Amino acid sequence: MTATRHSIPDDLLIGYAAGALPQAFDLVVASHVSLCDDARARLATYEAVGGAVIDDLDAVEVAEDSLDRTMAKIAGMPPAEAKPFVHGVFPAPLREAVGGDADAVQWRALGMGAKQAVLHQDGETSVRLLYIPAGQAMPAHSHRGTEMTLVLKGAYSDESDRFARGDIEVADSDMHHTPVAEPGEDCICLVATDARLRFDGWLPRIAQTFLRI
Amino acid sequence: MLLSNDHAEPTADGGNGPLSAALSDRRPNMRVDAVTAVEKTEAQWVARVRRIADHQDQKAFAEVFRHFAPRVKAFLIKSGADQSLAEECMQDVMATLWHKAHMYDPARASVATWVFTIARNRKIDLLRRYARPEPEELSWGPEAAPDQADVIALQQDSTRLAEAIRQLPEKQRTLIERAYFGDLTHSEIAAETGLPLGTIKSRIRLALDRLRHAMSTQT
């Protein structure tokens, strides 16, 4: 796998390892990790911390027939097969979210040849694909919270640096940047945004989900 | 960087990045024989998972179940599930373990770590009601296998990591646990880049390089 120059910050990887990220971010992290072995190794390291935590917990009592019921579940479950490795523009988790590779995306025009496809929206948190024709600037957008941009095809540059396939850029609201797609190849990015204000209410929302079960 | 340590919101330990402080690279003072005993146990877990994969060995599974099932259940309860949901979910996790045993790579994770990832994913399925996107799977394929020396080294690293966490001051250890139970939002999990979990990271990185090489020669 190619070495990406811009990998994901540790706090987002820890959040992903712990299962604490907003849904929109999960897709970007899973896609980035698929393309960047350094991120994959760091993620595995944070998961090792999770492994140590679970292994060190005091055992609680399980139901008397727990093992028997698990064996019954095993008998009723289909065998798990490793998914075959497929070469394409999109890594596996993104292909799953889209229902195919880059040619399967249902784009909506944004003007000037730019296109987008919203994959998931939950309140102010969203994840979308952006298609920027070669040499053009990204459509104007503002982000109040955090914005994660993963390059899947082509490359873009902004005031800070150049970002190519597999690279990820994380921008906070105080960062104003004007990404411009490089000439020669159209650029496809996966972009997730949140709004910081939403974050405070995020844990309570999970708690509500819990109570309804 | 999503959050830096000077973020206005106070983090749980007063804004100094609880995890970054807590995950510092401490070399535990352990007696050598104690280490050897724990490592032997690690090797036994790996061997049991292999027996489940290769021979659908129910005895090996029962042993894995006896150790991990009560801890997976505890993890789910700590994460907020009630008794009956935790029991049900734990059984799902253990059944998934059986079916995925052939996909476990001991050069990249201890059995406990692998169990944690299955439990975490099942927890997200149930509590947040969506199937979380997972990174593309990498597997050794039918003819290749991880290097035994890599497996032993990784299991040793995992043992050391667990011991280092165990020896942390109570407050820091509690913060780590809370993060992994989902009690902290990712904005409260402040981490500096370059956390000193270096040994285990380079080990996994090496195993990934070997795996990539094996994958490229198979296709």
Residue B114 has pLDDT above 50, yes or no: yes
Cβ contacts of A124 within 8 Å, gap of 6 or more: A144, A145, A193, A194, A195, A197, A198
Residue B170, pLDDT score: 85
Return the domain boundaries, chain B: 18-218
Task: State which CATH number among 3.30.70.20, 3.30.70.360, 1.10.1740.10, 3.90.480.20 fits the domain covering B18-218.
Answer: 1.10.1740.10
DSSP state, residue B124: I
pLDDT for the residue numbered A200: 33
Of A51, A60, A209, the CB nearest to B110: A51
| Residue A115, strand partner residues | A109, A131
Q: How far apart are CA A127 and CA A145, in angstroms?
A: 13
Rounded to a whole number of angstroms, the distance from the CA of A188 to the nearest CA of chain B is 19
Burial of B64 (C-beta count, 10 Å sphere; 0-12/13-18/19+): buried
pLDDT given at position A47 = 96
Q: How many CA atoms lie within 13 A of A92 on its CB side?
A: 15
Tokens of A67: 């093992």
Residue type, B211: L
Q: What is the pLDDT of residues B78-108, one digit of tens each?
A: 999 999 999 999 999 999 999 999 999 999 9
Phi and psi at B193, nearest 5°, equal -70, 155
Please state, for a pLDDT cut of 90, what percent of chain B lies above it: 51
Separation between Cα atoms, residue A149 and residue A75, nearest integer Å: 43
Residue-by-residue DSSP string for chain A: -PPPSS---HHHHHHHHHT-S-HHHHHHHHHHHHH-HHHHHHHHHHHHHHHHHHHTSPP-PPPTTHHHHHHHHHHHSPPP-PPPP--SSS-HHHHHHHTSSGGG---EEEETTEEEEEEEEETTEEEEEEEE-TTPBPPP---SS-EEEEEEESEEE-SS-EEETT-EEEE-TT-----EEPTTS-EEEEEEE--HHHHHTHHHHHHHHHHH-
B127 contacts B183 by C-beta, under 8 angstroms: no
**Smallest Cα distance from B82 to chain A, Å:** 9
The two beta strands, A114-122 and A125-132, are: antiparallel
Amino acid at B7: H
Distance CA B120, CA A43 (A): 14
What chain A holds in terms of domains, given with CATH numbers, is 1-213 (2.60.120.10)
Interface test with A, best of B26, B116, B139 (most A CBs within 10 A): B116
Categorize the per-residue pLDDT at B46 as very low, low, confident or very high, splitting at 50, 70 and 90: very high
- Å between B32 CA and nearest CA of chain A: 20
With an 8 Å Cβ cutoff, are B120 and A11 in contact?
no
Q: What is the pLDDT of residues B123-163, one digit of tens each?
A: 998 877 778 899 999 988 777 889 899 999 999 999 988 88
Q: Measured between CB atoms, which of B69, B133, B176 is closest to A53?
A: B176
Contact between residue B204 and residue A44 where contact means Cβ atoms under 8 Å apart: yes
Bridge partners (DSSP) of residue A193 are A126, A147
Beta partners for A127? Answer: A120, A192
Best residue in A43, A58, A61, A70 for a mutation probing chain B (most B CBs within 10 Å)? A70
Please report the pLDDT score of residue B19 as a whole number: 55
In sequence order, the 6+-apart residues with CB closer than 8 A to the CB of A164 are A4, A5, A151, A154, A155
Give the number of beta-carbon pairs within 8 Å between A and B: 245
| Distance in angstroms (rounded) separating the CA atoms of residues A27 and A38 | 18
Contact in structure between B60 and B52 (CB atoms under 8 Å): yes
Give pLDDT, residue B129: 76
User: What ipTM did this prediction achieve?
Assistant: 0.86
Q: What pLDDT is attached to residue A141?
A: 61
Q: Which chain A residues are Cβ-neighbours of B190 within 8 angstroms?
A: 11
Nearest to B185 among A37, A59, A203 (CB): A203
Residue B209 has pLDDT above 90, yes or no: yes
Provide the residue type at B161 as one letter.
L
Nearest to B117 among A26, A47, A70 (CB): A47
Q: Which residue has better confidence, A207 or B64?
A: B64
Residue A38: partners with Cβ closer than 8 Å, 6 or more residues away: A3, A4, A7, B205
Tell the residue number behind the tokens 């159209």, with chain if given. Answer: A186
pLDDT at position B38 is: 72
pLDDT-flagged residues of chain A (< 50): 1, 196-213
Query: What's the Cα-to-Cα distance from A113 to each of A89, A108, A136, A145, rounded to whole Å?
Result: 20, 10, 9, 27
Cα B73 to Cα B78: distance, rounded to the nearest angstrom: 9
pLDDT, tens digit (0-9, with 9 covering 90-100), for B26-35: 444 455 566 5
In the sheet that holds A108-111, the strands lie side by side as A108-111, A114-122, A125-132, A187-193, A147-153, A168-171
Q: What is the pLDDT of residue B6?
A: 33
- What band does B186 get if pLDDT is binned at 50, 70 and 90? low
